[in-house]
Structure formats: structure tokens, C-alpha cells
Amino acid sequence: MYEFVNEIEKHLKERLIPFWEGLKDSEYGGYYGYKGYDLKIDMQYEKGCILNSRILWFFSNAYMLLGEEHLKEAADHAYKFMMDYCMDKEYGGVFWSVTYDGKIKDDIKHTYNQAFAIYALSSYYDAVKDENALKTAKELFELIEEKCTDEQGYLEAFSRTFEPAGNDKLSENGVMADKTMNTLLHVFEAYTELYRVCGDERVAARLRFMLDVFKDKIFNENIGRQEVFFDKDYNTLIDLYSYGHDIETAWLIDRGLLVLGDEKYNKMLAPVTRTLAQNIYERAFVNNSVLTEAENGVNDVVRVWWVQAESIVGFINEGQKPGDGAKYFEAAGQIWEYIKTYFIDKRDGSEWFWSVNEDGSPTKKPIVEPWKCPYHNGRMCIEVIRRMKQ
């Protein structure tokens, strides 16, 4: 595994970091929001606030890992754009997107988006100890809890003034969901990071609440997977097995349990995360890569970039537990070889393809757009280095 870790560290330092630094918009702030498959930057494309949050998280954590001043400067640049343009100073919360020069583009307030801002701001605070970043993260926590919840869990989409809105942004596969596993997962991820840096017991209480929801509502014990899309009462809307989210959930819940440090919840959730990881290994790890999803039992054979990145972390996380870890470490290494062969774009000025077909040929999706970010593959690199080298 020594060579594996060194290769991933080299990839982070020599490919991913320079690529995303190269998207800095020095004129209007933030980072350019689009780079096509043809590697042309659209300097006037909208700037997704989720993308900016994920860039802020990436550079904050890269700075904490490597300690290089230019990474702090990159994080500072993303932070300034978030505070100047992504935050709604009138009604609170984070917009969905703004124009290239910082005007409101899409004023939908989505819980998912608020969560990623908390995730990024918490890490930025940890990196540079900017008290305003932590204050803003706590304010967003309060906003989510006041505006975006019901008694059973977390709601999804709202207007600018926090009236309920259709959840088209986080619904797929022909359904319109009132609640989603995906939003719950990333609120949990964000609150984990916030609790880690501030230790507020109110945040801890909500982490416990979400762990109960995962165990009782999201996890389908009969078939050993998470359900994905729900009505307001957590009735599942579709037979969808999201392999990528299951392996991501396995390690993110384990991470949350570690930060929370509650033995009751460790005992309650440990069998769930183990089942999720084992089942992805047995059901979706095919031809040295992990399938994305199956709808009505039919596998989608197109491989997606973020699923491969999260699977490496998920398998390493499972391999670090007592038991038969060797097969999971081996699987992580095989996925990395697959990524090197098929996902890493060999052209100058690029990073990873969005997805590849079953034969390994790339689909011609953008290299950067509001969802295509340094969060999954960059985080994979950072996690591997932290877990296996430091």
C-alpha cells in the first residue's frame, strides 16, 4: 500500500490542487463555474454555491494537511466569495447559484446547500481560526433547525423567503421527493464537522437524532441497503439502490460516530455501516470499479467519478476495522488502478472525467460544472493520506 499512498499524494499535489487553483477568477472573485469536455472555460457561466462551498472545503483541508501558504490563499479566496455573494444578507441562508459577477442567479434555498456551507465554514475555521466563519456556520445550523425541519427529519427545498418549494434539484429517476437520503447524509456530515470544531451539545443532539433516522427510516434491514427517495413520512418512493451513496454513508457515519463518541450509538450503528460496506463489496464491486446504482434491480453500468472516489475511502475505512481487512485494502488499490487507467484525463489542463462507459471510454460531460468539484476525489486523496501516512 506504500506505493498506493504515495501515488495518491502525488496526484493531489501535482494534479488536483494545480487544476483547481487554475480556475481562480481574479476579476470577479471565486472560481469559474464551468469547464467543458473540450477544456474551454466559460468565464461567464453561473457560479454554483455548492461548488464554491466544496472548493472552500477542499482548499481548507489541503492547507491543514500540507501547510502550504498558497492553499490558505486559495481557501481565503473562496471564503470571501461565499461571504460577499453566496449568503443572502436579507433573508438568511445560502443561494443556489449566482452569476459569474456575483448577482443572484437562482435564489432557491436548499437544505443540502446550507449543509455544505456549514461543512466548508467549519473546516475553514479549523484551518485559519477565523471566528466569523464559525459564527456563520452556527447561524446556518440555527437556520436549518428553524426553517428546514419537521418532527421526523429534514425537508428539502424552499423559496428565498423559506416557503416550501418543489425538490427538483435533489429528486431524480422520475420521482419528486419530500425527503431524501442524500440531504440527510450531508446534513449529518456538516454537523459532524461543526461539532468537531465547536463541541456544541445542541449539534450533538441533532447528530443523535439523525442517526436514529438513518437506523429506523433510511436503512432497509431486510435487504441491507439505504432507501433513497421518500414522501414526508419516510415512505419510500422507488426501488433504487444507490451503491455510491451506500459506501459513502458507511464511512461518513463511522466518522460521525468517532467524533460524537457515544458508545450507545456506536453499538447501534456499527452493524449498519458494516452491512452497507460489505454489501457494496459483494454486490457492486465489479471489474475493479464500483457500479453507481440499480433501479428496479437493473444495474447502471456507467461508472461515475465520485462513486469510485468514495469507494476507495469506504473500503479503506472498512479495512481498518478488526476482521478481514485485506480484501478491502486490495479493492481500494484495484479501484485506484481503474481510476488511473480510465478516469484521470491525460490531457493538460484537466483532472478526472465525469463518467466512463462500460468499456472505459469517457462520456463527454463537463470537467467542471456546478456538481463536478474537488470534493470527492480531493477528499479521497486527503483521507487516504491522513489514514495511511500521517
| Mean per-residue pLDDT, 35-58 | 98
- The pLDDT of residue 389 is 87
Query: Residue 236: is its pLDDT beyond 90?
Result: yes
Confidence tier at 390 by pLDDT (50, 70, 90): low
Mean pLDDT over 357-385 rounds to 97
Q: At a CB cut-off of 8 Å and minimum separation 6, what does 173 contact?
A: 229, 238, 240, 295
Residue 26, pLDDT > 80, answer: yes
- Would you say residue 1 has pLDDT above 80? no
Query: What is the band of 324 on the pLDDT scale with cuts at 50, 70, 90?
Result: confident
Q: List the domain boundaries for the chain.
A: 2-388
Upper half-sphere CA count for residue 246 (Cβ side, 13 Å):
31
| Cβ atoms of residues 160 and 88 within 8 Å | yes
For domain 2-388, the CATH class is mainly alpha
Contact residues for 87 (Cβ-Cβ < 8 A; gap 6+): 93, 94, 95, 136
Q: How far is the C-alpha of 64 from the C-alpha of 74, rounded, in Å?
A: 13
> Is residue 172 pLDDT above 90, yes or no?
no
pTM (2 decimals)?
Answer: 0.98
Residue 248, pLDDT above cutoff 70: yes
Q: How confident is the model at residue 174 (pLDDT cuts 50, 70, 90)?
A: confident
* pLDDT the model gives residue 348: 97
Determine the distance from the C-alpha atom of residue 127 to the mean position of all C-alpha atoms in its chain, rounded to a whole number: 19
For 25, the grid coordinates are 477568477
The pLDDT of residue 323 is 85
- Mean pLDDT over 94-120 rounds to 98
Position 249 pLDDT exceeds 80: yes
Residue 325 binned pLDDT confidence (cut-offs 50, 70, 90): confident
Torsion sign over Cα 350, 352, 356, 359: positive
| Alpha-helix runs per DSSP H in the chain | 2-11, 17-21, 49-66, 69-81, 111-128, 131-147, 181-198, 201-213, 243-260, 263-283, 305-319, 326-338, 375-388
Angle at 11 between CA 8 and CA 14, to 5 degrees: 145
Average pLDDT over residues 226-246: 98
Strand-pair category, 240-242 with 219-220: unpaired
DSSP 47-101: EEHHHHHHHHHHHHHHHHHH--HHHHHHHHHHHHHIIIIIB-TTT-SB-SEE-TT
Closest by Cα among 97, 90, 81, 76 to 31: 81
CA gap 234, 230 in Å, rounded? 5
